[in-house]
Amino acid sequence: MKHSNAGFGLTELMLALALGVLLVLGATQVFLGARQTYLAQYSAAVAQEDARFVLSKIAQEIRMVGMFGCIAPDSIIDAPLVFTTPISWQGAAGSRSWRFISADVGPQGTKPDWTVVSDCTRSAQAYAGQHLPLAPGETGFALRRIIYWFENGQLKTGTGKTVLLDNVAAFDVSFGMASSAAGQSVQRYEESPVSLASIRSVKIALTLQDPKARIRDQSYHVVVALRNRLG
C-alpha cells in the first residue's frame, strides 16, 4: 500500500515566505508611521511650550516698562539718562537687540540695576544698584535693564548673551501707536517708533523651526498693552 508524501513543496514555501515578508513590511510601515506622528506631535508640543514660556516671560516684563515709581520720571532726582528712553529696538532682520527698563515683578536672584526711593508725595531719587534700608514712609522701586538679542537663530538675554531659546527662525517686535501722545487706542503698528509717548502696546512675533524638519515652522504672536506711559 502506497502512502502519499507529506509536507510542503517549494512553491508553497516560497508563497509562505512572500506573505510573511509582506506582513512584516506592513507592520514596519505602521510602526514607522506611528513613530513619525509621535515625533511630530512631540516636536510641536516642545515648540509650543518653549514659545509659551518665553512670550509669557517677556509679556510680564513689558507690562512694567516705564514704571519708575509713584512720582513722574522727570521729577526723579539723579535719574540716569536711559530713563528717558525706556524701550528701544535696534538692528537688521537677522540680528537685533531689544532693550528696555522694567520694574521688578517678583523676587529676583540678583540685585537691581537701580532703585528709585520715593515718599510718593513730594520727592523721589534714583540710586545705582540696591538701596537699603528705607526710611519710614519711603518706598523702594527696583528697576532692571533687560536686553534680548536675536542672532544666529538664537534668542539670547542679558549682557552676557545667555541663550534663552534655540532654533528661532524669526523674532519681530512692533509697537502699537496711538494717533497722538494723548490718544488711547492703537491706530497702527510701527517697527521703529519716533514718539515713545504714543506707544500703547507691543506686538511680538516668534517663529520656531524644527532642526530635523519633522514639522513646519511654528509661528506664535502676543500683544501686550503697556501699563505705564513712556513719555
Q: Which three cell numbers stand for residue 152?
A: 544666529
Tens-digit pLDDT profile for residues 49-103: 999 999 999 999 999 998 898 888 889 999 999 998 898 888 776 678 899 999 9
Question: Phi and psi at residue 40, in whole multiples of 5°?
Answer: -65, -45
Q: How far apart are the first and last CA of the chain?
A: 114
Domain residue ranges of the chain, discontinuous segments joined by +: 40-225
**Which residues contact residue 226 at a Cβ distance below 8 angstroms, ignoring those fewer than 6 apart?**
62, 63, 65, 66, 199, 200, 201, 202
Among the residue ranges 3-17, 22-36, 176-190, the one predicted with the least confidence is: 3-17
Q: How confident is the model at residue 155 (pLDDT cuts 50, 70, 90)?
A: very high
For position 207, what pLDDT does the model report? 95
Q: For the segment 158-194, what is each residue's pLDDT rounded down to a tens digit?
A: 888 899 999 999 999 999 999 998 888 999 999 888 8
Of residues 47 and 104, more confidently modeled: 47
Three-state SS at 155: strand
What single-letter amino acid sits at 8? F
- Compute the mean pLDDT over every residue in the chain, rounded to the nearest whole number: 86
Per-residue pLDDT, 159: 83
State yes or no: pLDDT of 4 exceeds 60.
Answer: no
